[in-house]
Amino acid sequence: MSIIVTGAAGFIGSNLVQALNARGETDIIAVDDLTEGDKFRNLADAEIADYLDKRDLLPQLRAGRLGRPRAVFHQGACSSTMEGDGRFMMDNNYRYSCELLDACLTQGVPFIYASSAAVYGGNRVFREEREAERPLNVYGYSKFLFDQRVRRLLPGARSQVVGLRYFNVYGPRESHKARMASVAFHCFRQYRADGKVSLFGGYDGYAGGEHLRDFVSVEDVARVNLHFLDQPQRSGIFNLGTGRAQPFNDVAWSMVNALRAHDGLPPLSLVAMREEGLLEYSDFPDALRGKYQCFTQADISLLRQAGYRQPLLDVQQGVERYCHWLLEQEAGGWLPEMGQAA
């Protein structure tokens, strides 16, 4: 039976395909919208059985032309927190997800999908509870509303439904995301281009680079997805972060020192990086004021209760691994050119 991965040419979807391949799974139907054609690069080294355009998945699934899939990993979405077109966002993230979920429930197909920590908005409590959910933008609202639909359907569902609320994910195969790529990616590109990195300056009581996020490696995200594939009796909505809030400064410090080690240079402290002009801060963007999560930290109690016991990479571990991958891509000429982003 095939495994369907939507958003398969995207960041998390392509890493999930790679993780499935590493387990010997190749009967994979990759689903995406390749209007942005360069995303094919994320699948070029993967083994899949077929590719479907996003528009063709629902008709073929409903008509039974795909057989009965073993599972659907629904990773496809517009993930831009800056997207202002609410009609597009709701159609793409909410309505399409509702229709795909209904098709899976009708056929009894396990459905594992990407939710987001954006559902929590400016809250400081990050538990999978309605009281904690206050999205700050239409992206977060589209994810929140679908989670609400899942909650209503779960008591009567005859097959697995799992929502994973991703916190700040970083790692390989995200370069196509441009300005929405992780801060780790931007630190790498800035340092390679200019010999220094820039982070957002102070805002909402936090000093420059001191906003706190739960940064989670895409390696861990893929592992958790596969954990639920192996536990079809488990359903629910679960946070997927490390449970640690770390400042953006930690990401910059880890990336710069990883690159310095590559160049044969000794590590520096954060203070020394600032003094030597390797780390600087820009004015906080007006467009993000009132829409920015200054602090996130996943409560992963439910994830642990669902049997996921593996340790999760911290920022230094994950960023160093990511840096090595980026350097390999760069050396091979496989890292596409991308303009600087703030």
54 labelled binding-site residue:
yes
Distance CA 195, CA 193 (A): 6
* Active site annotation includes 177: yes
3-state secondary structure of 99: helix
Q: For residue 82, what are the CA distances in angstroms to 136, 210, 229, 235, 281?
A: 11, 21, 32, 31, 21
Confirm whether residue 196 is marked as ligand binding: no
327 alpha carbon, distance to own chain's centre: 21
Q: What phi and psi values does residue 269 have, to the nearest 5 degrees?
A: -75, 165
| 94 annotated as belonging to a binding site for a ligand | no
Taking the C-alpha atoms of residue 164 and residue 80, their distance in angstroms, rounded to an integer, is 18
Q: Is 177 annotated as a binding residue?
A: yes
CA distance 145 to 149: 6
Q: Which residues pair with 206 in a beta bridge?
A: 203
DSSP designation for 270: H
Residue 212 pairs in a beta bridge with 247, 295
The Cβ of residue 158 has, within 10 Å, a number of other Cβ atoms equal to 7
CB neighbours of 207 closer than 8 A, spacing ≥ 6?
A: none
Catalytic residue among 51, 177, 196, 206: 177
Q: What is the C-alpha separation between 123 and 296, in angstroms, rounded?
A: 8
Q: Is 92 annotated as a binding residue?
A: yes
Known catalytic residue at 291: no
Catalytic residue among 94, 113, 139, 308: 139
254 annotated as a binding-site residue: no
Residue 73 known to bind ligand: no
Contacts (Cβ under 8 Å, ≥6 apart) of 306: 227, 228, 231, 234, 236, 238
- Residue 103 contacts residue 58 (beta carbons within 8 Å): yes
- Spatial CA neighbour of 321 closest among 268, 265, 255, 272: 255
Distance from C-alpha of 121 to C-alpha of 72, rounded to nearest angstrom: 28
200 is in an annotated binding site: yes
Q: Does residue 112 have a known ligand-binding role?
A: no
* 168 annotated as a binding-site residue: yes
Spatial distance between the Cα atoms of 272 and 276, rounded to a whole number of angstroms: 6
Catalytic residue ranges: 139, 177
Q: Which residue ranges make up the annotated binding site for substrate? A: 168, 179, 186, 200-203, 213, 292
Q: Which residue ranges make up the annotated binding site for NADP(+)? A: 11-12, 32-33, 39, 54, 75-79, 92, 143, 169, 177
Q: Which residue ranges make up the annotated binding site? A: 11-12, 32-33, 39, 54, 75-79, 92, 143, 168-169, 177, 179, 186, 200-203, 213, 292
